[in-house]
Structure 1
């Protein structure tokens, strides 16, 4: 066996690439489905945390909150790029360049929760991330970290003075706290809100530069049927 040839062949296999676009208002159930999929995995694999054990504060309240993100064009869907897509994000055969099923979502806001972030903290412009999910079949390849960094840069493109990525995390999910620390986040505090939100641990890190070879790129056009 020519092991050197095999190594060269493996190196020529391209890494998957991904496109991201705003979620439409008719995709509410798509976004909720990604969240529910993550919740089912947490219940089965991470019983130490209560995160997403049930819709918070209740199914209708969660649905209304997520729909608000769609109405405000704050929520994004991530897709694995279809084979044959050119660098401009178009399919030479005229089809949708995005895969048929989304594999992730994130919501980007430019204003922080008044009870989770102090007035002094909110004086510093920042990008606030919510409902970050990567479908479990695509976990373990660093895609979540790339989605965080992409969202931070996207937020800064909308608010050029933004310096930080901020996120609130369920207070009892210690393993997720550790993950964010590994991604360069600093734990600022764990706070209690008047509505008793279970997501009270707040983290932040500086927005970094765009990588030389980003795997996540914004879709060049609206998907068919939008």
Structure 2
């Protein structure tokens, strides 16, 4: 039996932009290899100026947390304010802006651990609501993942993107006790 592997979480910063892009590239390649291109397409985030700027914003904004397996980053979480594409919250909240994990370490509960960290952050700030949106297309496997982590699907929405197919989104909420 292999030794128990502990996932630690540390705050991230601007120096971690390349790490976030590496994680996004790996997840995009993993999805594309399975024919699941609706979520993030097929091109690496690290070659897309829009995604590079987004990673720079995320890492500079103070809401980045990295899941670490030893000294190796295996997941990223960004929390902050909701984007303009989702219905606004009706109460104070913490919003999950990004959740991505290294698929080479699937099965370790990295994503669930990062989401629990987001819930802990919200509670520590006196907030009772955690929200996230995700890709709601194909077989809705990602929606089911979030539901398995205690979220409830609420509003569906569509993001229109110039020159690309519309992106079906799903908003999910988790009430915190």
Aligned-residue Cα RMSD (Å) equals 2.4
Deviation at 1:33, TM superposition (A): 0.3
1:168 aligns with 2:133: yes
Task: Select which of 20, 33, 51 maps to 1:31.
Answer: 20
Task: Select which of 50, 58, 74 maps to 1:69.
Answer: 58
Counterpart of 1:116 in 2: which secondary structure? Answer: coil
> Which has the larger displacement, 135-144 or 25-34?
135-144
Which consecutive residues of structure 1, in runs of 5 or more, have no partner in the other structure? 1-9, 82-98, 209-226
For this pair of structures, how many residues does the alignment match? 171
Counterpart of 1:192 in 2: which secondary structure? Answer: strand
Task: Select which of 132, 136, 141 maps to 2:99.
Answer: 132
Deviation at 1:39, TM superposition (A): 0.7
Q: Which has the higher contact order (CA 8 A, sep 6+)?
A: 1
Structure with a larger share of its residues in strand? 2
> Which has the larger displacement, 192-201 or 147-156?
192-201
Deviation at 1:143, TM superposition (A): 2.6
Partner of 2:4: 15
Task: Check conservation: 1:127, 1:164, Cα contact below 8 A.
Answer: yes
Q: Give me the whole-angstrom Cα distance separating, in 2, the residues matched to 1:49 and 1:22.
A: 30
TM-score (norm 1): 0.67
> Which has the larger displacement, 36-45 or 130-139?
130-139
Task: Select which of 185, 194, 200 maps to 2:169.
Answer: 200
Partner of 1:50: 38
Distance 1:193 1:48, change over 3 A: closer
Task: Select which of 113, 117, 120 maps to 2:87.
Answer: 117
Q: Give me the whole-angstrom Cα distance separating, in 2, the residues matched to 1:192 and 1:156.
A: 30
Task: Select which of 106, 114, 117 maps to 2:77.
Answer: 106
Task: Select which of 107, 132, 152 maps to 1:186.
Answer: 152
Deviation at 1:51, TM superposition (A): 1.3
Q: Max radius of gyration: which structure?
A: 1
TM-score (norm 2): 0.83
Which consecutive residues of structure 2, in runs of 5 or more, have no partner in the other structure? none
